[in-house]
Amino acid sequence: MDDRRWFNSSQPQTLQFAQMLLYFNGLLLLLRGMLLGVVGLIAVAFVVGQVGAAFGIANERKWG
């Protein structure tokens, strides 16, 4: 069975809040880029990095 998750509620509150902020910030950056019509390579890299970091934290990976 696949044990990957998007949010880990068994972690300390600080890491839970960090996950939420990274997902939220990535979403806002993506929406801002779509609304302004400017989704450059750097903006996409930031979105992927933030969502990837939050996913890594949720799955207790060192790269997160």
Share of the chain above pLDDT 90, in %: 41
User: What residues contact residue 15 under an 8 Å CB cut-off, 6+ apart?
Assistant: 8, 57
Per the listing, tokens 């979403």 go with 27
Contact 33, 39 (CB under 8 A): yes
d(CA 50, CA 29) in angstroms, rounded, equals 10
d(CA 53, CA 32) in angstroms, rounded, equals 20
pTM: 0.80
pLDDT mean across residues, the chain: 86
pLDDT at 61: 84
Residue 55 has pLDDT above 90, yes or no: yes
Per the listing, tokens 């060192």 go with 62
Domain ranges of the chain: 13-58
